[in-house]
Amino acid sequence: KQEVTQIPAALSVPEGENLVLNCSFTDSAIYNLQWFRQDPGKGLTSLLLIQSSQREQTSGRLNASLDKSSGRSTLYIAASQPGDSATYLCAVPDDKIIFGKGTRLHILP
Amino acid sequence: EPEVTQTPSHQVTQMGQEVILRCVPISNHLYFYWYRQILGQKVEFLVSFYNNEISEKSEIFDDQFSVERPDGSNFTLKIRSTKLEDSAMYFCASTWDRVADQPQHFGDGTRLSIL
C-alpha cells in the first residue's frame, strides 16, 4: 500500500532564502508525482507534475526532482517570497491519488 | 484554461440532514473523483467514477454516501443523515485519462460544516 510522507511538517524561513521540501513514498512503482499548493481554507493548485521517466521539472522559481529508486522527491523554492507561504502537498497516483500530509511553509518578511 | 467548479463554496447543515455537493468537471474529462480533507489532516480519497459507475471507493465511502452524474455536466456527492464527523473540505477532481498518466484537476472545494 502506497504511503507518502513529507518532512518537515512545518518550516519558517526569512524572505529571500532558498529552501527544500522533502517527500518520500514507499512504493517506487509510480507513474508520476505531483506537487500541489494549498492556501488556508482553499483548494489545491497543481504546481508541478513529474513523469516517472523524468528527473526534474521546473516552473519559475520552483524545481521538483524525482528519484524513483530511492522513493524521494524534493521541491526546491528559490528566492522565497512572503506570497509563497502556504501548505505544499506531495501526491502520487495509485489508481487514486495518495497525498502526503503536507509541509506548512511560512516565509517571514 | 478550463477548470473544475464546485458549489456551494460553504455549506452549513444540521446533523442528520442530507446534503448534496455539486461539481462541474472539465468538459472533455472522463474520470471523476471526490476527496475529503478533515481540518488539519490529509486529503483522502473517497470515490472514483467512470462510465457512469463507481470504479473504486475507499472504506470511508460507506452507505451514507452516493455519487451521481445526473446529466452531461454535473457530478454530485450526496451525504445522507450527516454526522458531526462529516465536517470537512470536499474536493472534486477530474481527468481525461487514468490518474496514473494524467494530472487530476481539482476544484476549490466545498467546506461542509455539520452543526
Question: pLDDT digits over B51-109, tens only?
Answer: 899 999 999 999 999 999 988 789 999 999 999 999 999 999 998 877 566 778 899 99
Predicted local confidence at residue B101, as pLDDT: 63
If you average pLDDT over residues A19-44, what whole number do you get? 91
Say whether pLDDT at B2 is over 80: no
Q: Which residues of B touch A (CB under 8 A)?
A: 33, 35, 41-45, 48, 56, 58, 89, 91, 93, 98-101, 103-109, 111
| Residue bearing the bigger pLDDT, B104 or A35 | A35
Contact call for A97 and B35, based on CB within 8 A: yes
A82 — phi, psi (to 5°)? -55, -30
If you average pLDDT over residues B21-34, what whole number do you get? 93
Predicted local confidence at residue A31, as pLDDT: 85
Predicted local confidence at residue B99, as pLDDT: 58
CA distance A103 to A98: 15
Say whether pLDDT at A15 is over 90: yes
Mean pLDDT, chain A, as a whole number?
93
Residue B72, C-beta contacts closer than 8 angstroms, at least 6 positions apart: none
If you average pLDDT over residues A79-106, what whole number do you get? 92
If you average pLDDT over residues A50-69, what whole number do you get? 93
Predicted local confidence at residue B32, as pLDDT: 93
Mean pLDDT, chain B, as a whole number?
92
Q: Which residues pair with A58 in a beta bridge?
A: A63
CA distance B104 to A95: 11
Q: Using CB atoms, which residue from B33, B41, B103 is nearest to A34? A: B103
Say whether pLDDT at A97 is over 90: no
B84 — phi, psi (to 5°)? -55, -40
Predicted local confidence at residue B100, as pLDDT: 60
Say whether pLDDT at B24 is over 90: yes
Nearest residue of A to residue B41, measured between CA atoms: A101
If you average pLDDT over residues A60-84, what whole number do you get? 96
Q: Can you list the pairs that A82-87 forms with residues at least 24 positions away whose Cβ atoms lie under 8 Å?
A: A82/A15, A82/A107, A82/A108, A82/A109, A83/A107, A86/A37, A86/A38, A86/A39, A86/A40, A87/A37, A87/A38, A87/A39, A87/A40
In angstroms, the separation between the Cα of residue B19 and the nearest Cα of chain A is 20
Predicted local confidence at residue A12, as pLDDT: 96
Nearest residue of A to residue B32, measured between CA atoms: A96
